[in-house]
Amino acid sequence: MQSLIGEEVGLSDWVVIDQHRIDQFAEATTDHQWIHVDTERAAREMPDGKTIAHGYLTIALIPVLTRNFIHVENLARTVNFGLNKVRFIAPIPVGSRLRGRSIVLQAQQRADALLLTSQVRIEVEGQKQPACVAETLSMYFFNDIES
């Protein structure tokens, strides 16, 4: 993993953020703020006339977007360990396609696991600025190797 530090390790496929996905997230979190779920009001009052995805929906998609970026031999499981920094830079209008891009920042042994710190950029198709930049922490646990 040390050889991957500073390297881009993956670019995900595009994922469509439709109103159904936004509404499902609102139901799961009970965050029904109108900018996310009220399409009629958004048409009148939002700059692009569209609802926007929840910032935390964006964060929730990071594991799905980045799950295949690093292949690790002898892996028992991977666990999300947290986030160091998150910035929501640009909104994600309904109907947008987004993808994740990841760079390894640090890899260190921690007890019986590897702690990997990565920067994940969530990009929106057609936008220059990323929608979100997050520093994620993942723990990689390995199977015991028999002698």
> What are the C-alpha distances in Å from 17 to residues 11, 64, 134?
17, 13, 19
State pLDDT tens for residues 26-68: 999 999 999 999 999 999 999 999 999 999 999 999 999 998 8
Q: What is the pTM of this model?
A: 0.88
Q: Could you tell me which residues come within 8 angstroms of residue 115 by beta carbon, excluding any fewer than 6 positions away?
A: 81, 106, 107, 108, 109, 137, 138, 139, 140
The C-alpha R_g of the chain, in whole angstroms, comes to: 18
Domains and CATH numbers, the chain: 2-142 (3.10.129.10)
* Intra-chain end-to-end CA distance of the chain, in Å: 23
* Under 8 Å between Cβ of 60 and 86: no
For residue 3, the model assigns a pLDDT of 75
pLDDT at 21 over 70: yes
